[in-house]
Every structure is written in structure tokens, then in C-alpha cells.
Amino acid sequence: MDLSVVIIEDNSHYRRSLETLFNHAKGFCCVASYGSAHAALDEVDQRLRYGHEVPWKMVLMDIDLPGINGIEATRRLKARLPQVSVVMLTVFEEPATILEAITVGADGYLLKTTLAPELISHLGVIASGGSPLTPDVARTVLSLLRSKSKLSGVAASSAQPTKLDLTEREHAVLQGLVKGLSYKQVGAKLNISIDTVRTHIRGVYRKLQVHSVAEAVARALREKIA
């Protein structure tokens, strides 16, 4: 079954190009597109109000949107549809913006300069449960977190690694996510099934008190867990 993608992008030319891309890419289909977050959220609210299904699996979200910006829209959308993957697709590379997007629940952060084949590849990894933080983005977030630690008078180098009571297997799974591996790749590396990987990830979420791969990876980087 094709992955149903929704596009929230105010640039009409870019939005149409994304629609064309996903309607022709194998394994994907564009089920809706909006020029503003307000319009998308209204659609969600209306469907939920009348008990209708919201057939969205992944939302590509711009940040610089009219009215409600993409970060606030992500927070509201995840509150309504926590099972939907929200991927930021933006021109903003600032560390604080990346961290804020992850904090409100974004499941991925990609730049508009990403070429179409790479974009499809990244979204496929995210859809299969892989880490949405590319190495460059992960390094950016880690750099910001280290800077914040220094500003607060706590040198990053003095932080003591911790596992927060993770089992050995949960820790190994988390390490795989930090490296950007998909659930399938983690399972192959550890010689366990994808269902077992998911079970361990639920344990990681519970112990780290997070709700997404992005949050788990960010905390792992921040606290040197993996």
C-alpha cells in the first residue's frame, strides 16, 4: 500500500512540484496539499468532529507559513494525530530551529535543497522507523546542546554517560537509531525481528520519557546515552 503524504507549503510552485513527485514516486501518493497550516488543521478538526478517518500517514511541513507557522502547526497536529509522521521540509538550518521542531514532536527535519531521489529515500527510512536525524542534523543538535551546557556552567566534557536503566539490548537498539539505521537494519544487525526491535524501542521511549525516534536520539546525544 502506498504511503499517503500530505503537503503543507505556501509556495504554490514548490507545492505543485512536490505533488507531482509523490504521485509518481513508487510507494507514495499525495492525498492532500495545503497552502497554510490553518487550512490543514481545519480539515483535521472537521474530520475528527464527525468521526471520520484522517487517512494521513506522513505530513511534509514547511516552517515559514502564513498565520500559524510550521513548528506551532506540528505541535497542534501531533496533539490531534500522534500516529502521523511530521517531517519538516524547510530552508532553515539554524540549530535552535531544528531543536525546537524536534521538541514539539517533528519526526524528521529535511532541507529543501535535498534532491528528489534523496528526499524519497529519507522519507522511506522515516516511514520504516529509522532515525530522521541525518548525521549533519544530529551533529548540529549535539553542538547546540553542548553550547547550552557550557553556558549553564556545566562543561559538556564533564557529563557522565548514563543508560537510564536501559537493558543491554535496548541500549544497542538506541545506538542503532542514533546512527540513523532503520528498524529493519537494527534488527539485522542485532539478529532480531522487527517486532522485537519495536518492543525494545517502546521500552526506550518509556524509560527516556520520549514519544518519537527524534526525541530519543536527541536525548541520547544530549546525555551521552548512546
Residue appearing with cell numbers 530522521: 132
pLDDT per 10-residue tile (average), the chain, 226 residues: 94 97 95 98 96 95 96 95 92 83 85 90 80 62 61 47 79 86 87 90 88 76 75
Specify whether 71 is located in the same domain as 141. no
Residue 13 near residue 22 (C-beta atoms within 8 A): no
Specify whether 7 is located in the same domain as 102. yes
Residue 12 near residue 34 (C-beta atoms within 8 A): no
Which string of b and e fits 152-164 if b means at least 16 CB within 10 Å? eeeeeeeeeeeee
Sheet holding 28-34, edge to edge: 28-34, 3-8, 58-61, 85-90, 108-111
Tell me if 174 is assigned to some domain: yes
Residue 132: count other Cβ atoms within 10 Å of its Cβ: 27
Specify whether 11 is located in the same domain as 101. yes
| Domain limits for position 38 | 3-127
pLDDT at 148: 58
pLDDT at 80: 94
**The three cell numbers locating residue 140:** 548540529
pLDDT at 145: 60
What is this structure's pTM? Answer: 0.70
